[in-house]
Each structure stands twice: as structure tokens, then as C-alpha cells.
Chains A and B, each alone.
Chain A
Amino acid sequence: MCQFCVEHGEGKKWYLQAKNYSLELVNEERKRFMADFFENVERMVSDRLGGLDKLMAADPSGAKGVFPQLVEQQKKEHWGQVVPLEEIEQILDNSVAVVRVPCVCRSTLRGIRDARYCFGVTSGLKDPRASVFRQYPDYSTDLEVLNKEEAKKAIQKLDRNGLVHTVWTFLTPFIGGICNCTVNECLALKTRTRLGFPTFFKAEYVATIDWETCSGCRDCMKVCNFGAISYSAYVDKCSINQLQCYGCGVCRSECMRDAITLRDRNAVPALKNEW
């Protein structure tokens, strides 16, 4: 299990542990952190990710030396994990109400305010975070309240479009939101895949293709955000590189022959420490 499951799961996967969504965790410190986050997200991104990028360009091996302390800071403040669709649905099932909000990453990278890919799992309309969030019209003007079924349907659609589902902490272990990511529009995915700096855990799963069923159509390859799938012309089948796979499951959703399954990452010896 990932580090957070061990530290914050209390026997469950940490993102399925109800305590990590509890309003009891939304204390003054967290409210201030969240206000700060939404007010200054671009500056934080520019300072941290931009700073890291400059460092890597100037001194790649020196930069790798500072990764551990930067990772520790990110893990404490704002860390994520890839979660497959059925577990996102479980999280939604356990919520009272869901809000859909503009994604800060799309705002930063694409300059658009109305990309509503993020979902906040709330305790209801009187959730104290609402007052923090509403201070920032850039992100709260398009706030919509959805019931669980509407939220599930919306995320199912994003899943069929190949978006990677992720959960995010605001001062770990409190999970403030679910997002739906792509490698070019998500700061976390982009930073990890392009700069090699981790900002989240891979899923507790890894995908594999059953060659008895696979027809070699390659539709799965088209949706993989991580380049984990390759095609063997010789056998006319696709294979998933387990070391590259993040376990998001969008390939599984795409495969029309149901040839792809998600296996427990922890059951694969070389992958149980591959996060």
C-alpha cells in the first residue's frame, strides 16, 4: 500500500477512509491554507515548479538532490493519488453533496476559467470550506452543487474521454478534492512526466492486457496519458509496461473487448514500492 494508506488508512486505502474527508479536519490552519492556496496558486506554482524547472535546466544532478525535501513538503501540503473510476464512485457514494468547480491547473496552463473538472466532496451546503472558497470568484463563480448520481455520471463521461481521476490533499491527510487530469493540462501529471518530479502516487493498481481477448486495435494506446502501452506488430497485440503504468484504468474503459483488467499493485513484487 502507498505510504498514505499505511499512515492514514487505518486498515483501508487512505482515500476510502472516511476520516480523511471529515470536517473535523477543517480547522483554522486548514482553512487558512486553503485560502492561501486559492489566492496564491499561480505564485506557488511559479515559485516551486518554475523554480524546480530552472534548477533542473541549470544543474540536473544538483536538482535531483533537492527532490527529497521538496517531495516531503509537497506530501505534507498538497499530494495526490491516481484512483480508478469504481473507487471514485465509492468516494462519491460516501459524500453528502458534491460541488463541481473550475480546475486551477487549466486556469494556469490554458488561461481558461470555465474548465470544470474538479469535484469537491462536501458534507453538505453548510460546509465551512464554502466560505473560504467563495472569497475567490475566479474559482467559485462556476461552483455547481451536484447530487451523487449527477457527479458519478459526469466523472464516468470524463473517464470515457480518457481523463485520469485523482484525489488531492489540502494539508495531508485531509482530502479536499477529486480532479480529472490529462498530462498536458494537469500541473501534477505534467511535472511528474516531463520533469520527473513526483507530486502524487500512482494508483494502488496496475493494468494488464489479456492477449486471448486483445484484438490489436490499439484504442488503448490512444488514451494512455503515460505512454505505458505499446503495440507488437508481430503478434498484433498491445502490452502495458507495468513500470510505466499509473493504474488509472482509462485504457480499461476504452477497450471494447474488455481485454484490460486492473491488478493490485501490491501483489506484484517489483511494483509494490513503485509509487
Chain B
Amino acid sequence: MIQITWDSNRCTSPRQCRKCLDACPQGVFMTYPRDGRKPGELTENWCVAPLFLSLCTGCQICEEICPENAIALSAG
């Protein structure tokens, strides 16, 4: 099973960049609010995480496209 890790120290503005979200041909990724969503506030801190991990083929397009090298694939 392929593992995908996302480094929050390297990826600081996922919703501005969005490269992995758009580049993945399988649509594996999702974004979610790092600290949850608070009523009355716009969410500012986001994470990227794999949602449909079973669809990942290990093509590594996400690793290649990330300008911050925040994504790493490893064979499980």
C-alpha cells in the first residue's frame, strides 16, 4: 500500500498553491482546516491530506510538481 506524507513545515499555503490537488490524475487529495472551522471566522490554516489513497498509483506527479517538496511517496 502506497503511503503519502505531507510536510506542514514545507507546505504553508496549500489553498493558494493547489498544485498537488489539481495535478493528481486520480484526485487523491483533499484539504481540511488544520485547527477546525470556527463559527464567524474564515478558515486560514489548511492542510493537504490524501483522501482517496486507494486510487493512488504511485505515479509521483505530486512529488514532482510540489514547489516546496512537501509531498513524499513511499511503498508501504
Contacts and interface: CB of A to CB of B under 8 A. Distances in A.
B72 interface: no
Nearest to B32: A42
B30 A109 contact: yes
B68 to A, nearest CB: 15
B75 interface: no
Interface residues of B, number: 28
Given A39-B37, A138-B42, A46 B14 contact: no
Interface stretch (A53-61, A207-215, A240-248): A53-61
A45 to B, nearest CB: 7
A43 interface: yes
Contacts of A49: 51-52
A135 to B, nearest CB: 4
Contacts of B27: 109, 184, 190
A53 B18 contact: no
A184 B15 CA distance: 18
Contacts of B29: 109
Interface string B46-75: 101111111100000000000000000000
B15 A111 contact: yes
Contact of A46 (B18, B51, B55): B51
A54 B22 contact: no
B53 A53 contact: yes
A99 to B, nearest CB: 19
Q: Chain B interface mostly helix, strand, loop or mixed? A: mixed
A136 B1 contact: no
Given A42-B33, A53-B54, A195-B52, A111 B21 contact: yes
A111 B55 contact: no
B54 A57 contact: yes
Contacts of A46: 30, 32, 49, 51
B1 A109 contact: no
Interface string A108-142: 11111100000000000000000000011110010
A49 B43 CA distance: 22
A109 B18 CA distance: 10
Contacts of A227: none
Contacts of A57: 1, 53-54
Nearest to A60: B54
Contact of B43 (A110, A112, A138, A184): A138
A56 B54 contact: yes
25 contacts: A38-B37, A42-B31, A42-B32, A43-B32, A49-B51, A49-B52, A50-B30, A50-B53, A54-B53, A58-B1, A107-B31, A108-B30, A109-B21, A109-B29, A110-B18, A111-B31, A112-B18, A113-B15, A135-B39, A136-B37, A136-B39, A137-B42, A190-B27, A194-B55, A195-B54
